[in-house]
Structure 1
Amino acid sequence: MQLLRKLGFPISLIYAIVVYLRNYFYDTGVFPSRSFNTKTICVGNLSVGGTGKTPMIEFLISHIKERCKIAVLSRGYGRRSKGYLLAESGMDVESLGDEPYQIYKKFPNAYVAVDADRQHGISTLEKTIGPDVVLLDDAFQHRKVRCDHYVLLTSYANLYVDDWYLPTGNLRDSKREARRANIIVVTKCPPNLTGKQQQDILKKIAPAPSQKVIFSYLDYDTSLKGGSGEIGLEQLKNKKVTLVTGIANPKPLVSFLTDQGIVLEHLAYQDHHFFSEKEIALFNTKEMVLTTEKDYVRLEGKIKNLHYIGIQHKFLNEGEKVLVSLLNDSLSNP
């Protein structure tokens, strides 16, 4: 894989030129961007791969769901439907995509919609729902919409400043576009990240005076849900556990479970993978299947002994206050 990435370097140079020109045309107004009357908060990244966007969307929802009418707009990657779709009773994960479906099931009071055309999606939400705020999931690179606030996520193990363009690296957008972010969140940090290590990262990122940089780590639930009821993580130590993942980067989860003394058989699939009947039949031969919350919504009801482990962002220092302050400013200012 590394050899193929190196061989793809000439392609990455062409990709970099295309990205530069695209952003230049948006910056100069050749390509138009549109603002909306409804407050918009974008959560995204510059790289492909998992940075924790869905848990961040869930964090934002949990802090404003009681205060206003909230809508979440996603592309619905991997879904088997087209155009604009508003989540409602009776829809399945294949119609919405795994991440929007997960959010819809978890937050029934939030409106969840999918549309690859973000302008059309927001316009439709304004006409039909009239939300107070729209959270745009994975939309940092979608410059047809000019949002009120931008939350940029970058993984501790693969900072965007150290990355390179696809296919040699994981960048899908220019590092320079980080300047549009109000808050940069370094995700998946070690919980014991020192002050000096944080300062070293800050020097690399070199934020503008108006930008805030905060640090978060993934906090895994010790109570597993699904199956016939909740069980404690410690109960897995004497079981034959098969971990099934269809996410971009399962390494942090594998490390966490291994650190808990759990012996795993890990079956890893591509991000947003829809499992075949043959694969499901294989999983049903296992004593105990553990998966992520995102994968659970695609496997629920198909496997007899299936549980999932939930995650959430936890923040170092005053990071949570910084994010909540952003929300307060966004909702209070006209």
Structure 2
Amino acid sequence: MIRLIRWLLLPVSFLYAGMMWLRNRMYDLNLLKSTYFKFPVVVIGNLAVGGTGKSPMTEYVLRIVLPLSNVGVLSRGYGRKTKGFREVSVTDVADESGDEPLQIKRKFPETTVVVCENRVKGIQQLLTRCAAILLDDAYQHRALKPSFSILLFDYRSLLTARFPLPTGSFRDGLQESNRANCIVVTKCPEDLDLAMKSKLTEKLRAFSQADIFFAKIAYDNVINPAGKAFPKTSLPNTCVLLVTGIANPQPLTEYLLPKVKELRQISYNDHHDFSAKDLDYIGKEWTKISDDKKIIITTEKDMQRFPSSFSARYPIYFIPIQPQILFGEAPIFENIVRKAFRVSEM
């Protein structure tokens, strides 16, 4: 039914695409103002709505540059109930700062992480505190002109027809990739071959001359909020209730399915705010699993939105992930990132 409604809205999609094209051309012609800063402002973004792995890529970039430079992170803070500029604290809850900024702050506690809907104003408040700024979702925020842009594409999105919102998931057309300095095709299969790499590179080359890389998801150990790992050897004998509130849970589902005894799944929309009713439902579904060996698994981002009271009551775990650049090209990518932040390896 939802798919039918989306197709019925195809005329709206064409209207939306036309409006976005006009908006972009107005920025290109300087009819709308973009603010540029004289220090590194690096943007990570995508052309589609969610699901490309911006947060893991943000963390990857931070691991590369933090030992070499004082980099601050600026995010809009999707899902938060606060407004305006706010500095994120490790003691925040997701309602205050958003799940993704909170995840980053907890993993990099010494890093300045702030949220602000107006990215230009957010950067202005960080000018004297940071040597560079990393924005985790601002490719479409053209009121800001970054010094460097990393554009992400979900692998599967390049294999199918790309329709604009609301029929499809694309906010901009592929031609907007010409603004990117670097492109990463994320969530690639482990067995991606050179022929497919060449095919997708050729498709993107029609719109952009940026450096193009391919990355898969690297999954870490299953751990609980206290940092204790669930034994890998026990997973094949364990029933798992997978609870997600992300744009695309399919890769995680496919990863877990062959590794556990039984997999049941509850999926919510991206950045879903788990209500008391949701938590009660999740608890009841966990109780319905008759096997004594059972756990709940969620994503690291979703974990930020589960209250500690739920974690104390149920055996809930999450799986940290990070992108892994394929074809031995990680050193090239990492060197490009260092140059973007104007730092060199010590």
Same topology, TM > 0.5: yes
- The equivalent of 1:142 in structure 2 is 141
- The equivalent of 1:296 in structure 2 is 303
For 2:343 and 2:323, the matched residues in 1 are separated by: 26
Q: Offset at 1:327?
A: 2.1
* Letter paired with 2:318: Y
For 1:281 and 1:51, the matched residues in 2 are separated by: 30
- The equivalent of 1:325 in structure 2 is 335
Question: In 2 relative to 1, CA 139–26 (structure 1 residues): closer, same or farther, beyond 3 Å?
Answer: same
- The equivalent of 1:166 in structure 2 is 165
1:170-204 per-residue CA deviation (whole Å, 9 max, x = no partner) reads: 11113211001111111000011000111111121
The answer to whether the 8 A contact 1:183-1:211 is kept is yes
1:84-119 per-residue CA deviation (whole Å, 9 max, x = no partner) reads: 101135422210000000000000121101011010
Structure 2's unaligned 5+ residue stretches are 287-293
Q: Secondary structure at the match of 1:135?
A: strand
1:205-262 per-residue CA deviation (whole Å, 9 max, x = no partner) reads: 1257841111000011134333682212332322331110000000000000012244
- The equivalent of 2:13 in structure 1 is 12
The answer to whether the 8 A contact 1:161-1:175 is kept is no
For 1:19 and 1:199, the matched residues in 2 are separated by: 30
- What is the correspondence of 1:159-238 to structure 2 with a 5 Å cutoff? 159=158, 162-206=161-205, 210-226=209-225, 229-238=228-237
Task: Give the alignment partner of residue 324 of structure 2, picking from 293, 310, 314.
Answer: 314
Structure 1's unaligned 5+ residue stretches are none
For 1:321 and 1:309, the matched residues in 2 are separated by: 25
The answer to whether the 8 A contact 1:35-1:146 is kept is yes
Q: Offset at 1:31?
A: 0.2
For 1:216 and 1:95, the matched residues in 2 are separated by: 32
- The equivalent of 2:274 in structure 1 is 275
**Which stretches of structure 1, 4 residues or longer, exceed 6 Å deviation after superposition?**
none
For 2:241 and 2:42, the matched residues in 1 are separated by: 38
- The equivalent of 1:115 in structure 2 is 116
**Mean Cα deviation higher: 312-321 or 105-114:** 312-321
- What is the correspondence of 1:45-56 to structure 2 with a 5 Å cutoff? 45-56=46-57
- The equivalent of 1:27 in structure 2 is 28
The answer to whether the 8 A contact 1:283-1:289 is kept is no
Q: Secondary structure at the match of 2:125?
A: helix
**Mean Cα deviation higher: 193-202 or 278-287:** 278-287
The answer to whether the 8 A contact 1:154-1:187 is kept is yes
For 1:19 and 1:161, the matched residues in 2 are separated by: 21
The answer to whether the 8 A contact 1:46-1:160 is kept is no
* Letter paired with 2:295: M
1:111-163 per-residue CA deviation (whole Å, 9 max, x = no partner) reads: 10101101001001114x2x111111110000111111110000111129841
* Letter paired with 1:171: F
Residue-pair matches, total: 332
Q: Offset at 1:307?
A: 0.6
**Mean Cα deviation higher: 77-86 or 312-321:** 312-321
Provide the identity percentage: 35
- The equivalent of 2:125 in structure 1 is 124
